[in-house]
Each structure stands twice: as structure tokens, then as C-alpha cells.
Amino acid sequence: MPHLVPDTPPQRVLAARNFVYTMGYGLYLTAGVLYFTEAVHLPAGQVALGLGMTGVVALVLGVTVGHLADRHGARGVYAVTLTVQALATSCFVLADTFWLFVVAVCAAAGARTAGAAARSPLIRHYGGDRPQEFRAYLRTVTNLGISLGAVLAGWVV
């Protein structure tokens, strides 16, 4: 896959989705903490505690959803995780207390990790003869997306 654009339509869809998704994630990583500390006025210690709690939730959900994807099909489970993450992320604007913040970020981070677990079989399936090469291509797209998202967030901030 020495091309800039993947060969097959499913690979192009996964790569485009990955780019848009990781750009948004780069925005979130850069501006999310500032939003909750400056706009919502949560103390930095509470934001750190809430983000730490998300790690535990994400760890548990990643493994659990990976098993669901194996049993019920990765494509449908992946679509559900993306929907849950979009809804949870949109709830950030409603999170004006510590516990609402924790629920929103745990749901978003859990869905993000679960989505990664559900996406792996899709990469294996649509990766063609060399899925590891397609996975590396997606990692490059991820790095580019997060970098551009961080630059956009820096410009906005």
C-alpha cells in the first residue's frame, strides 16, 4: 500500500472516518481540559480525578465490547460505539457539576476504547492480503488527524 489513498472503497471509508475522528479527538485532547477548568469552573484536581476514573471504565469496556464484536459482528457494534461516543461527547456542554462531568467523560472514553476493540476485526477483514500494512497506514492517518486537531484547537484557544 505505497499509495496516499487506500486501494479499496472499504479501506478508503475506514481511513476517512479515522481522519475525521482523530481530528476531533485532537481538538478534545487539546481544549477539553481547558474547557472544563475555565468554562465549567471545575477545579483541576477534580478534572484530573474524573479523567483518571475514565481509564478504569475504558479498560473494562474495551475487553467487554471486544467479546460483543466477536459474537454479534464488528460492524454493528462499532457503529453503536461511535453513536454512544458522539452522544456522550455532546453531553459535555451539559456537564456543569463534577458527577455529570464524570458520567460524560467515562461514557465518551469507554465508547472510544470499545470502538477501538470493535474496529480491529474490521481492519483485519478489510486490510486485504496485508492487514498489518493497512493498520500502519491507519496509524499514520491517526497521527496526522490528532496533530491537525491539536493545531486547530491551539488556534481556537
In a domain, 128, yes or no: yes
Q: Give me the pLDDT at residue 33, please.
A: 82
For residue range 27-40, what is the model confidence (pLDDT) as tens digits?
888 888 888 998 89
Which residue range forms the structural domain that includes residue 117? 9-156
In a domain, 4, yes or no: no
- The Cα–Cα gap between 115 and 62 comes to 8
Query: What percent of the chain stands above pLDDT 70?
Result: 99
Residue type, 24: G
Q: Give me the pLDDT at residue 1, please.
A: 47
In a domain, 92, yes or no: yes
Helix axes 98-126, 74-90, angle to 10 degrees: 150
In a domain, 3, yes or no: no
In a domain, 139, yes or no: yes
In a domain, 100, yes or no: yes
Check the CA dihedral 4-10-14-19 and report its sign: positive
Q: Count up the domains in the chain and report the number.
A: 1
C-beta separation of 84 from 61 below 8 A: no
In a domain, 44, yes or no: yes
Rounded alpha-carbon distances, angstroms, from residue 150 to 28, 29, 42, 136: 8, 7, 22, 21
For residue range 115-125, what is the model confidence (pLDDT) as tens digits?
888 888 888 88
In a domain, 50, yes or no: yes
pTM of the model: 0.83
